[in-house]
Amino acid sequence: MHVKMPTTIEPEAVGAPPESAHEVRVRRRRWPWLLALAVLLGGGYWQFAASAPRPQAAGPGAGLANRAVPVVIATAHTGDVPVYLSGLGSVTAFNTVTVKSRVDGQLVKVAFQEGQFVHAGDLLAQIDPRPFEVQLTQAQGQLARDLAQLKAARLNLERYRDLVLKEFIPKQQFDDQAAQVRQYEGTIELDRGLIDGAKLQLIYSRITAPISGRVGLRLVDVGNMVHANDQNGLLVITQVQPIAVVFTLPEDNLRAVLTKLHAGKSLTVEAYDRAGQTKITTGTLLTVDNQIDQSTGTTRLKAVFENRDNALFPNQFVNAKLLLDVKKGTVVAPVAAIQRGPQGTFVYAVKPDRTVEVRPITVGPIAGSDAAIDSGLSAGEEVVVDGVDKLRPGSTVQPRTSDAGASPRPDA
């Protein structure tokens, strides 16, 4: 029996005629050109996308560079700036007296109140005067006895004078009587000295104020025995009207101060509190010390204050400011506007278009919140006094109302 085997069909033969060798070669040559064309198209698209303007993304920082910065500004003006020399000082009493007893005795009376203001001659204390009264009585009695003896001796001397002339008595007897008279005269002078001493002791038993001033705390109570050689005394009086302030200045400032004093000018000294913010009172410079402290390079100066309101107190710490001169007709700007950088001092000056520029300046004397500008700024120009931390050269600014602590515009 004859069986017919199935015929195998190749894939190339299904649905399409086989490709010729020429067509295969043509297809293979086309691929490199297509790849080059794709590369050219991609490069052109990337260049176009890079050069096209990109829209800014909306966000919190959008448009910050062009936004106006709110600041507080002030206008520089022409004015007078005082030139001060500042130093640390201490208040000292113009005079200080420790009142002591000049006699020994028992304290029987205290006539002052602690902290009281007294005047020179006011009674402060009383020591028992009776012993001194007794001494005075004894001295007066002794004087009366010696006066009587002197009178009798003088009468005898007159009698002896006549007798010696008549040669009824020897010359030596007359001379002895004359010597006795002179002796009594000396005794009388001694008695009068004793009387004056007793009177002085009696005066010293009343202790009076030697100066006008403020009484301190009582150091001895009534009933105690006091002596002339006691170390502590009875009380201390400090003269506080006027009162003095001793302060120091660098030796470099000494020549300028002495020049003013030698010219006969009165220099004003202002006393400020410990913080240097509140002025307490005003006085005048009295003198300059006669030497310089080599360890500190400073010299001491003494100023006098009337202290009518008792604002200054002995040993109080103060900041002293000596008014040396007044710089008149200079450009004045707020101290808050002055900035310091590696290149020196500068300000942010506001131009008419409300943009700022960095302006180097030279700063002169400073008085409080104002500073004299020696160069770099003119009167009428505006400067930024608050908000400089957000500024750059060319930044646009928007003036605003000053915050607490900021310097307001003088022309506002």
d(CA 336, CA 410) in angstroms, rounded, equals 13
Please report the pLDDT score of residue 33 as a whole number: 65
pLDDT band at 272 (very low <50, low <70, confident <90, very high): very high
Does residue 44 fall inside a structural domain? no
d(CA 401, CA 412) in angstroms, rounded, equals 10
Q: Tell me: the pLDDT tens digits for 280-295? A: 999 999 999 999 999 9
Does residue 309 fall inside a structural domain? yes
Q: Which residue has the higher pLDDT, 48 or 396?
A: 396
Are 350 and 315 within one domain?
A: no
Are 290 and 246 within one domain?
A: yes
Mean pLDDT of the chain: 84
Does residue 25 fall inside a structural domain? no
Are 152 and 196 within one domain?
A: yes
Q: Which residue has the higher pLDDT, 16 or 390?
A: 390
Are 315 and 344 within one domain?
A: no
| CATH number for the domain that contains residue 263 | 2.40.30.170
Are 256 and 291 within one domain?
A: yes
Are 240 and 317 within one domain?
A: yes
- Grouping H, G, I as helix, E, B as strand and the rest as coil, residue 371 is strand
Q: Tell me: the pLDDT tens digits for 206-233? A: 999 999 999 999 999 999 999 998 888 9
Locate 231 and state its tokens.
Answer: 């170390």
d(CA 399, CA 378) in angstroms, rounded, equals 20
Q: Which residue has the higher pLDDT, 165 or 10?
A: 165
Task: List the one residue out of 337, 392, 343, 412 whose CA is nearest residue 370.
Answer: 337
Q: Which residue has the higher pLDDT, 32 or 305?
A: 305
Taking 70 as the threshold, does the pLDDT of residue 163 lie above it?
Answer: yes
Concatenate the DSSP letters of all residues of 111-138 into one string.
---TT-EE-TT-EEEEE--HHHHHHHHH
Taking 50 as the threshold, does the pLDDT of residue 56 lie above it?
Answer: no
pLDDT band at 36 (very low <50, low <70, confident <90, very high): low
Are 292 and 263 within one domain?
A: yes
Does residue 259 fall inside a structural domain? yes
Does residue 116 fall inside a structural domain? no
- Grouping H, G, I as helix, E, B as strand and the rest as coil, residue 226 is strand
Residue with token string 């000018």: 265
Are 277 and 356 within one domain?
A: no
pLDDT band at 391 (very low <50, low <70, confident <90, very high): confident
Residues 132-151: what's their mean pLDDT? 94
Are 285 and 335 within one domain?
A: no
Residue 86 buriedness (CB in 10 A; 0-12 / 13-18 / 19+): middle
- Name 8's Cβ contacts closer than 8 Å, sequence gap at least 6: none
Taking 70 as the threshold, does the pLDDT of residue 171 lie above it?
Answer: yes
Q: Final residue of a domain: which of 302, 327, 352?
A: 327
Backbone angles phi, psi at 289, to 5 degrees: -60, 160
Are 322 and 251 within one domain?
A: yes
Write the DSSP symbol of residue 355. Answer: B
Taking each helix axis as running N to C, give the angle between helix 171-204 and helix 130-165, from 0 to 180 degrees, rounded to the nearest 10.
160
pLDDT band at 13 (very low <50, low <70, confident <90, very high): very low
Across 51-60, 268-277, 314-323, 343-352, least confident range: 51-60
Taking 70 as the threshold, does the pLDDT of residue 42 lie above it?
Answer: no
Residues 57-61: what's their mean pLDDT? 42
Q: Do the beta carbons of residue 405 and residue 388 sit within 8 Å?
A: no
Please report the pLDDT score of residue 65 as a whole number: 47
Residues 314-338: what's their mean pLDDT? 92
Task: List the one residue out of 207, 211, 219 whose CA is nearest residue 237.
Answer: 211
Q: Final residue of a domain: which of 202, 225, 251?
A: 202
Are 332 and 387 within one domain?
A: yes
Taking 50 as the threshold, does the pLDDT of residue 170 lie above it?
Answer: yes
Taking 60 as the threshold, does the pLDDT of residue 257 lie above it?
Answer: yes
Residues 234-239: what's their mean pLDDT? 94
Does residue 215 fall inside a structural domain? no
Residue 52 Rama label (left phi>0; alpha psi -120 to 50; beta): beta
Long-range contacts of 45-49 (CB under 8 A, 24+ apart): none
Taking 80 as the threshold, does the pLDDT of residue 22 lie above it?
Answer: no
Please report the pLDDT score of residue 15 as a whole number: 45
Query: b/e map of 271-288 (b: 16 or more CB within 10 Å)?
Result: bbeeeeeeebbebebbee
Total of domains in the chain: 3
Q: Do the beta carbons of residue 49 and residue 303 sit within 8 Å?
A: no
Are 247 and 321 within one domain?
A: yes
Taking 80 as the threshold, does the pLDDT of residue 357 lie above it?
Answer: yes
- Supply the pTM of this predicted model: 0.64
Could you tell me how far CA 44 lies from the centroid of its own chain? 76
Please report the pLDDT score of residue 92 as a whole number: 94
Q: Tell me: the pLDDT tens digits for 172-195? A: 888 888 999 999 999 999 999 999
Does residue 404 fall inside a structural domain? no
Does residue 152 fall inside a structural domain? yes
| CATH number for the domain that contains residue 182 | 1.10.287
Amino acid at 319: N
d(CA 37, CA 262) in angstroms, rounded, equals 100
- Name 61's Cβ contacts closer than 8 Å, sequence gap at least 6: none
Taking 70 as the threshold, does the pLDDT of residue 54 lie above it?
Answer: no
Q: Final residue of a domain: which of 299, 327, 355?
A: 327
Domain that holds residue 168: 135-202
| CATH number for the domain that contains residue 337 | 2.40.420.20
d(CA 191, CA 139) in angstroms, rounded, equals 6
d(CA 1, CA 227) in angstroms, rounded, equals 171
Residues 5-16: what's their mean pLDDT? 45
Q: Which residue has the higher pLDDT, 17 or 165?
A: 165
Angle at 216 (CA atoms; ends 215, 220), nearest 5 degrees: 105
